[in-house]
Amino acid sequence: MIFLAKASEIPEGERKLVKVNGVDVAVFRQGGRFYALNNACPHRQGPLSRGTVEAAAEGAGCFVRCPMHGWRFDLATGDSNGRPANATVYAVDQRGEELYIEI
């Protein structure tokens, strides 16, 4: 596991771009939970850390919409809702105030 960030660096509803082992990782905090995705959109490498976060109705997940061409990805799974490629997600392990990921 590799240190990612301190939880307090990412307030609720915010995101942060972190470089881990040379990989740009977009970290989001939504609903008290942390999500980490490869920042490069699988379509044409748009920066997901600058995307718009959307919550589904009735608590059915959170999504980020790529700022380049609008593909939408599930923050938890990277699922692209039928597009040709999914986003790469990394499991976040929260240990107290510190966040770690395996990459």
Site residues (vs ligand FES, CB under 6 A) = 41, 43-44, 46, 66, 68-71
28 vs 71, beta carbon nearer ligand FES: 71
| Reduced 3-state DSSP string for 32-60 | CEEEEEECECCCCCCEHHHCEEEECHHHC
β-pairing verdict for 72-74 and 89-90: unpaired
Q: Cβ atoms within 10 A of the Cβ of 48, count?
A: 29
7 vs 83, beta carbon nearer ligand FES: 83
Q: How far is the CB of 48 from ligand FES (least distance, A)?
A: 7
46 vs 78, beta carbon nearer ligand FES: 46
**In which element (H, E) is residue 17 found?**
strand 15-20
Q: How far is the CB of 44 from ligand FES (least distance, A)?
A: 4
